[in-house]
Amino acid sequence: MFNIDTCNVFNFHLPDQPGILLAFANRLRTADIPLKALWAQGKSKVEARIRCIPERDPQFRDFAKSAELDLTEEIVVYITADDHGGEFHKLLERIASANININEMQAVNFGGETGWMIWTDEEQVEPLIESIR
């Protein structure tokens, strides 16, 4: 049994320098903006790509505007399942049977539960969800 949800992922860039991520985290704490997820990837010696899923989207949008972040948004499908073995294969079978292309996938397993974050084209989000139900 899969549990399915969608989330908005916010993308922006910060300078790729020591201490910048800490400064950003401090600004989030000061503004009382909790995050559900954060990814930081240094892409060059100049900037790092940051992705996050905030607890409250409107609050994060306001914060980003005041921080002058060049923000883009995308939808991710978040799927969880108890880890009984074979869930990953079942998930991929359902997605492939619906002829849906996965643009990106990240997965993690903790405490007997696996979670997958799947990015696909926006028009494929609803068909992806339906293929998993």
**Per-residue pLDDT reduced to its tens digit, 66-104:** 999 999 999 999 999 988 878 889 999 999 999 999 999
Assess contact for 83 and 65: CB atoms under 8 A. no
Residues facing residue 101 across a β-bridge: none
Distance between CA atoms of residues 78 and 48, nearest Å: 24
Ordered by where they begin, the domains of the chain are 15-71 (no CATH), 75-132 (3.30.70.260)
Q: How confident is the model at residue 87, as a pLDDT?
A: 87
Q: Nearest to residue 14, comparing CAs of 23, 6, 5?
A: 23
Q: How confident is the model at residue 101, as a pLDDT?
A: 95
**13-48: per-residue pLDDT in tens?**
999 999 999 999 999 999 999 999 999 998 777 889
